[in-house]
Structure 1
């Protein structure tokens, strides 16, 4: 029916078991560096009212790894996405096995709306089942869980924004069901050209630079070929008229040259009586 589907499968891969200590880990990208760890810990604890302590590790000069012990604390920070800590920009993202400091992970929290969802589906188990078919549910909006606003269910899920986001989900009830539309108010932008978050591939500076180079190379070759064709056309057209002999002998009279006398003798009957020409020769 033109809609994408998802399959969930449990796995006991040893590589996944080795990462158990990082299940509640967050990667922090700090383009401007970071303040002392003690300042980071006190700022995050007060800002998010964290319940338990957490560990901070330096990955490289621009990345930190924060490992939480409490799942609620983990989601509070992860859903913030970005903030300033003592004047330094912090960007939060979920840790994954394919993490690389040279590119951003496209797997990020995304808020989605399900407009017109029946009110009897606003219970938390129902919402987690429906939204869970789109991606792992990270958080349910309080206005949705308390049914303060029932025009649309608002849920935050984890999605790979480098791929096309599902625009609907099938909600089956017994032998029937219906398609539930999915709306993304502010989907994160991801560039597949440079593997960075924050801009689309069409607005990537690397792609735009390559396009400008291609344009400058083609421009001069086209401009150079046009005048060459025009010069050939204008050069040969006048010469065809010049080849036709001019039969009007009057054009030779204004030339004040003594060598003309030999030619003028032959054309004397045309200009006048020979007496005039003989007077000139005398």
Structure 2
């Protein structure tokens, strides 16, 4: 249902101190938040709009900044973004956030997207690796942006296993920062 209703990359925009009319917001948010794809914007409650992005990149961008400032007629309206949830309650704050995690001293053979996302899934939902991880230009550390529940306890390290040519499995602990 979430995919069918275009809610896969849905974000809530919360205005605390006033906001432009909804027809103006539909034009302003896409442009001023620098969204690359299409989006559908609708009024959710008296201070919240539902932004249905079509691109994962826009979803990550919207959730990665603490606030956007929507400007109209020399007025600036701060808009915080929150992850949309089917159980969204405008009276409660969300416990979901976007954060970078690092794997210092991760062996370079684990820098591929599948491998590093598999490791990051221990902390939260992996969204994207940083440019240096994707290009493998910083072999000392891999970084991944993840969606996390701030109420969960996070591991400080994880164990990885590597099969050697002799079919021996060597285990190594990797720190998570």
Shift of 1:65: 0.8
Name which of 167, 178, 198 aligns with 2:172: 178
CA distance in structure 1 between the aligned counterparts of 2:33 and 2:131, rounded to whole angstroms: 17
Paired residue secondary structure (1:98): coil
The TM-score with structure 1 as length reference comes to 0.53
Q: What are the within-5 Å matches in structure 2 for residues 129-140 of structure 1?
A: 129-140=118-129
Which segments of structure 1 move beyond 6 Å, counting only runs of 4 or more?
none
Residue in 1 aligned with 2:166? none
User: Number of residues paired by the alignment?
Assistant: 167
The TM-score with structure 2 as length reference comes to 0.81
CA distance in structure 1 between the aligned counterparts of 2:2 and 2:109, rounded to whole angstroms: 41
CA distance in structure 1 between the aligned counterparts of 2:161 and 2:87, rounded to whole angstroms: 35
Residue in 2 aligned with 1:143? 132
CA distance in structure 1 between the aligned counterparts of 2:67 and 2:171, rounded to whole angstroms: 39
Residue in 2 aligned with 1:85? 70
CA distance in structure 2 between the aligned counterparts of 1:176 and 1:98, rounded to whole angstroms: 44
- 1:33–1:61 Cα contact (<8 Å) kept: no
| Structure 2 residues not aligned, in runs of 5+ | 164-168
Residue in 1 aligned with 2:111? 122
CA distance in structure 1 between the aligned counterparts of 2:85 and 2:21, rounded to whole angstroms: 25
Residue in 1 aligned with 2:48? 63
Shift of 1:101: 0.9
Residue in 1 aligned with 2:61? 76
Name which of 131, 143, 151 aligns with 1:162: 151
Q: CA RMSD in A?
A: 2.2
Shift of 1:119: 1.8
- 1:25–1:66 Cα contact (<8 Å) kept: yes
1:7-61 alpha-carbon deviations (Å, 9 max, x no partner): xxxxxxxxxx367422221011111122233543444433454343211111212
CA distance in structure 2 between the aligned counterparts of 1:18 and 1:132, rounded to whole angstroms: 21
Name which of 102, 106, 120 aligns with 2:95: 106
1:223-279 alpha-carbon deviations (Å, 9 max, x no partner): xxxxxxxxxxxxxxxxxxxxxxxxxxxxxxxxxxxxxxxxxxxxxxxxxxxxxxxxx
| Structure 1 residues not aligned, in runs of 5+ | 1-16, 184-282
**Structure with the largest fraction of helix:** 1
